[in-house]
Amino acid sequence: MKAIVFNVESGEIKQSLDFNTLDEIHHLKTAFEDVIPIEGAWENHYVSDGVLLEFPARPSPHHEWDWTTKTWLPNLDAARESQRQAWNAWRDRELIAGYTHNGHVFHSDDRFMAELQLILKGYERGFLTGTSAIRTRDNCTLQMTHAEIESLLLLIGLHRQAIYQQSWVGKDALAGLTTLEDIVAGGPPS
């Protein structure tokens, strides 16, 4: 036979145990904890008025069980943090998603920008003249001049800055939202 030990005030189950007779478990009762025999599963349950009850369905991942009211309550701080992380993930994806310029999609990650900066430094110091080979995301090679590379680097930088700015605005807006529905709706673009 099985029994559970639970907190009398909250109904939270503290442990389960095996027993042979009811006399074996009566000594476990205290002013704060009680024991009841059970049949079947007890996980995902709580006790109310001495009756084992199953938790109702959790409305969202941003709800936490409140032992006092025995209901799921929204955790706005956890929802805000989840949305901040979603904004960060969106920003990181967008930063490397590429940048379209003159009908070509170029890399837009830090490595590509550093490569462009290195090429420009080569032009500035006189090591490079004419055009340089630049690879697009779809592995096409383009011959580009110093001015074209400089323009491309600037445009990718501005594109990345716009992504950061959109992320900052979205994350900052979360602080002023006061309902779970608004916070969930305040996530990044899909």
pLDDT digits (tens, 9 = 90+) for 112-133: 999 999 999 999 999 999 999 9
**pLDDT (tens digit per residue) in 12-26:** 999 888 888 777 777
Q: What is the pLDDT of residue 39?
A: 86
8 CB burial (10 A radius; 0-12, 13-18, 19+): middle
List, in order, residues 6 or more apart from 170 with CB less than 8 Å away. 87, 186, 187, 188
Kindly state the percentage of the chain with pLDDT values over 70.
100
User: Tokens standing for 38?
Assistant: 């059970």
| 90: CB partners within 8 A, 6+ apart | 167, 188, 189
Closest to 142 in 3D by CA, of 181, 107, 189? 107
Dist. CA 190–CA 168, nearest whole Å: 16
DSSP annotation of 154 reads H
pTM of the prediction? 0.76
